Amino acid sequence: MKKNNSIISIFVLFIAFSCTSEDKILSVGERIEQIVAESDNPAHGGTPSLEDLASAGIQNATGNQASYERAIALAVPTPTTLTELQDIVNNVNDNESGFGNNDILEWYDEFDVDGSPSKSNWTYDIGTGQSGWGNNELQYYTQRSDNVNVADGLLTISAKKENFEGASYTSARLKTQGEYSFTYGKVEVRAKLPASAGTWPAIWMLGTNFTTVGWPACGEIDIMEQKGWDKNTISAALHNLSSSGNTENTKETSVAGSTTGFHIYAVNWTAEKIEFSVDGVVFYTYNPTVKTNENWPYTAPQFLILNLAMGGSLGGDIPSDFTESKMEIDYVRVYR
């Protein structure tokens, strides 16, 4: 009996030693580091598993493992806390639950109340920015009714030639930053574009994390831009760490009557691809075969921007007899 007890005691000690030496109990921070290290892109390895996430303290990790893996791998900045990791999981859950088909109207502005644009929907960029908002633009952005106004069911952004705060032109730039942002969805904007040469209208989106990670790491989605010297053509583009500025991720399409009639400019953004269309006809699809942090930062929320610039890299030369031109918007709708 004594011999058997000794053998049992040695076996128990061996098990205890093995557990403490090889199965080290990880701290929350160490578990998060391990989860991030195991997250491959594209997702294919099955790690971290749903059990790994749960053991780190993540709640409601009951969705698609590959979706969590990809979102963690592409997150900018890299998650280092349990809260940041939980936010990623929550975003994946939200995008894969009642939404996903981008056919449910979630947010909109029909501009049906005269006066200033809704303060619960829109804020403004004011001034000339740095180096003309990085594009050598010549306008001073204001929120005056002379430059931005809602009347008769339309939002009108007016660019004007006038001396104002040291600039020779004024206009407006509206954004939903701080009011509304989203990850994945379909945006539709019905608009009539300015007719004058030298004007540069844009409907676009920017990652909400641009104040922390900067541009172009935050990702930019240009739904519609029009050059100042070609009023029968519009373009769509994407800016990210793989290509920005004079980006290679862009395509143009002809839009006859863009300045005389309304057209619907749209983007359909999913976890797999980003499609751009005019009046329901897709003309450009962005879909990198291998998605990385550099070419696919589009896993985080973005906010909407509407603006009318003067001159600059896409506005070009402004005619000497220019006085005023405007972009009119019937509605902005986001489906998820």
Quote the tokens at residue 119. 């303060």
Distance, CA of 107 to CA of 181 (rounded, Å): 10
H-helix segments, the chain: 2-22, 28-38, 50-55, 65-74, 82-96, 210-213, 312-315
179 is catalytic: no
For residues 234 and 257, what is the distance between their CA atoms, to the nearest angstrom? 11
Catalytic residue flag (residue 225): yes
Asked if 238 and 291 touch (Cβ cutoff 8 Å), the reply is: no
CB 155 within 8 A of CB 307: no
Cα–Cα dist 200/255, whole Å = 15
- The residue annotated as part of the active site, out of 137, 188, 225, 275, is 225
Q: What is the largest CA-CA distance in the chain?
A: 109
- For 286, residues 6+ apart whose C-beta sits below 8 A from its C-beta are 238, 249, 273, 274, 275, 276
Closest listed residue to residue 327, CA positions, set 185, 231, 235, 186: 231
User: Do 205 and 304 touch, CB atoms closer than 8 A?
Assistant: yes
**CA quadruple 84, 85, 88, 90: dihedral positive or negative?**
negative
Measured CA distances, 30 to 24, 33, 40, 52, 82 (Å): 11, 5, 18, 12, 11
Inter-residue contact 74 to 296 (CB < 8 Å) = yes
User: DSSP of 83-105, one letter per residue?
Assistant: HHHHHHHHHHHHHHTT-SSS-SE
Choice among 188, 220, 275, 328 that is catalytic = 220
Query: Angle between the 28-38 and 82-96 helix axes, to the nearest 10 degrees?
Result: 50
Residues labelled catalytic: 220, 225
